[in-house]
A and B are shown apart, each in its own frame.
Chain A
Amino acid sequence: MTAPPVLSVRGLRKSFGAMTAVAGVDLDVEAGEIVCIIGPSGCGKSTFLRCINYLERPDEGTVRIAGDYIGREPAAAGGTRLQSARQLDRMRPRVGLVFQQFHLWPHLSALENVARAPIRLRGVDRSEAEAQARALLARFGLAAKAGRMPADLSGGEKQRVAIARALAMKPELMLFDEPTSALDPEVVGDVLRLMKELAEEGMTMVVVTHELGFARKVADRIVFFDAGRIAEMGPPDELIDRPRSERLRLFLSHFQ
């Protein structure tokens, strides 16, 4: 028996009032796979990521992390039922989410941003958690910044701390929502390089991005989202060089 996919999404739907943001998505991501999601603004990419860890509660569909349901699970009587808040809180650390706007905790130092969740949620000793956090920060070139408050960090540094914060919980899957869109052009490369290293180490990743160069180099598969659906999906060369749909061709033409 082969291991279940790290991420398995089935029939995911989410509407905001009359506006359908995610209109029925199925997606499997295998261990170590890197999937990049591209698509026009407003097509539901963020909503899709946020539905995976139930920051946004999907209207329909199921999500499994390495075979375990998150948020909603099959009910004994048939159909599905929502998990309890405690069940959901236990599942969430298995998925790391990196936001476009970082959302670091401004009242905590860089080190504490990284160490806090392992200490509180995993019961790791403070000294051990801090040592691990320092090691993570050092790996990301932030050894000298551990004691800084987020307000005293540059955008690129903030995003690297945010990635370290998510990794500190040892997630099985990392989700990135346009991680470089809020960064100055000169530091975008630093963050992308770090993500590439993560990918090479075998992390499973789903990355919403407008960085086609990164997607082409790093992704195993690219997903083109359009109007809340997966409109096209395939290996980078195929999808970028030989788009099948007119919509994708048009979308790609904006990057020339």
Chain B
Amino acid sequence: MTLDLSIITDNAGLFAQGAVATVYISVAAIISGLLIAFPVALLRLSPRRVMSWPAVAYVELFRNIPFIVMLSLFFYGLPFFGLRLQPMTTGIVALALFGSAYFAEIVRGAILSVPRGQMESARAIGMSYLRALREIIFPQMLRFFIPAATNTSISLVKESAVLATLSVAELTYQGLIVQGQTFAPFEVFLATATIYWGLTALLAAGFRTSERRLGGQAQRGFSSRHRLAARYLSLEPEPRS
């Protein structure tokens, strides 16, 4: 058996469209997921049960269903509530919510990784809770947050393939189309896999850059052993779905 690379070059346009759609879906879901995650994490950290309980429920709800099931529920369920969204939009919303549950847990863990005395010394001097979070806690939590958030973001890029089940023309769907036309599954999925690999590698590089930009200064205060431990802890694969 030989590889017929013309199958890929002849359909480069479709692969490119698919890759662009996958990037668009992933970036939108990651950004919205992160934006949702912060308030959810802060609620979950509240000492008041009325505040923390809904956040716990939210996280557990979205973390404990396979994404493909959640996406189907959204796609077939939302119209019952009068919400008719494009498959692409449904997919982005579902992926963002799915990711936000994992991101929220990461934010919570990252905040808790900062010693309690940091918040206390900030509050004692008169900073508001939000200012103390922004100026004192966030810069110190990045070294935990960024590696873990990178992993989750990479998982979301991979999960976005599930949108193919709604015929959203993202990378996996385009691959299936090309396969249907060419009957050359090996070449097609080799190309698809390579593009996913490239996209996730780019994403990881992006996070590393942001880590240097945002956290470079913050990290000067910490020992390298501590940083190594943080990296090691972030290796746990998630999300699982």
Bound: A234/B223 CA distance, A: 47
The minimal Cβ–Cβ distance linking B100 to chain A, given in whole angstroms, is 26
Which residues of A from 89 to 127 have beta carbons under 8 Å from B? 89-90, 92-93, 95-97, 99, 101, 103-107, 116-117, 120-121
Interface-central residue, B117, B121, B139, B140, by most chain A CB under 10 Å: B121
In chain B, what residue has the closest Cβ to A107? B218
Are A107 and B221 interface neighbours, CB within 8 A? yes
Which residues of B from 75 to 129 have beta carbons under 8 Å from A? 115, 117-118, 120-129
Bound: A99/B124 CA distance, A: 10
Whether, in the assembled complex, B136 has its beta carbon less than 8 Å from a beta carbon of chain A, the answer is yes
Residue numbers in B under 8 Å from A131 (CB-CB): none
Residue numbers in A under 8 Å from B222 (CB-CB): 106, 151
Are A92 and B125 interface neighbours, CB within 8 A? yes
Whether, in the assembled complex, A250 has its beta carbon less than 8 Å from a beta carbon of chain B, the answer is no
Indicate the size class of the contact surface on chain A: 20 to 34
Are A105 and B125 interface neighbours, CB within 8 A? no
Whether, in the assembled complex, A219 has its beta carbon less than 8 Å from a beta carbon of chain B, the answer is no
The minimal Cβ–Cβ distance linking B115 to chain A, given in whole angstroms, is 8
In chain B, what residue has the closest Cβ to A175? B124
Residue numbers in B under 8 Å from A106 (CB-CB): 140, 221-222
Are B118 and A103 interface neighbours, CB within 8 A? yes
Are B220 and A151 interface neighbours, CB within 8 A? yes
Which residues of A from 17 to 53 have beta carbons under 8 Å from B? 53
Bound: A244/B121 CA distance, A: 37
Bound: A150/B117 CA distance, A: 14
Bound: A107/B137 CA distance, A: 10
In chain A, what residue has the closest Cβ to B140? A107
Residue numbers in B under 8 Å from A120 (CB-CB): 127, 131, 135
Which residues of A from 116 to 168 have beta carbons under 8 Å from B? 116-117, 120-121, 149-151, 162, 165-166
Bound: A85/B25 CA distance, A: 40
Residue numbers in B under 8 Å from A149 (CB-CB): 220-221
Bound: A85/B221 CA distance, A: 31
Residue numbers in B under 8 Å from A7 (CB-CB): none
Bound: A69/B120 CA distance, A: 20
Indicate the size class of the contact surface on chain B: 20 to 34
Whether, in the assembled complex, A82 has its beta carbon less than 8 Å from a beta carbon of chain B, the answer is no
Whether, in the assembled complex, A55 has its beta carbon less than 8 Å from a beta carbon of chain B, the answer is yes
Residue numbers in A under 8 Å from B11 (CB-CB): none
The minimal Cβ–Cβ distance linking B166 to chain A, given in whole angstroms, is 44
Which residues of B from 6 to 32 have beta carbons under 8 Å from A? none
Are B125 and A117 interface neighbours, CB within 8 A? yes
The minimal Cβ–Cβ distance linking A159 to chain B, given in whole angstroms, is 12
Interface-central residue, A85, A97, A101, A107, by most chain B CB under 10 Å: A107
Bound: A149/B221 CA distance, A: 6
**Known contacts A106-B140, A151-B220, A151-B221, A99 near B125 by CB under 8 Å:** no
Bound: A45/B63 CA distance, A: 44
Bound: A100/B220 CA distance, A: 23
In chain A, what residue has the closest Cβ to B217? A107
Bound: A232/B106 CA distance, A: 49
Partner of B118, one of A92, A96, A105: A105
Are A150 and B221 interface neighbours, CB within 8 A? yes
The minimal Cβ–Cβ distance linking A58 to chain B, given in whole angstroms, is 15
Bound: A105/B222 CA distance, A: 11
Residue numbers in A under 8 Å from B126 (CB-CB): 89-90, 92-93, 117, 121, 169
Residue numbers in B under 8 Å from A96 (CB-CB): 125
Are B136 and A55 interface neighbours, CB within 8 A? no
In chain B, what residue has the closest Cβ to A53? B124
Interface-central residue, A96, A101, A120, by most chain B CB under 10 Å: A120
Inter-chain pairs besides A89-B127, A120-B127, 11 sampled, C-beta below 8 Å: A89-B128, A92-B123, A103-B117, A105-B121, A105-B136, A106-B140, A106-B221, A107-B218, A149-B221, A150-B221, A162-B121
The 6 closest A-B pairs by CB, nearest first: A106-B221, A103-B117, A103-B121, A93-B126, A107-B218, A92-B126
A-B CB contact pairs (8 Å), 17 listed: A85-B129, A90-B126, A92-B123, A92-B125, A96-B125, A104-B121, A105-B118, A105-B121, A105-B122, A106-B221, A107-B217, A107-B218, A107-B221, A121-B126, A150-B221, A151-B221, A162-B121
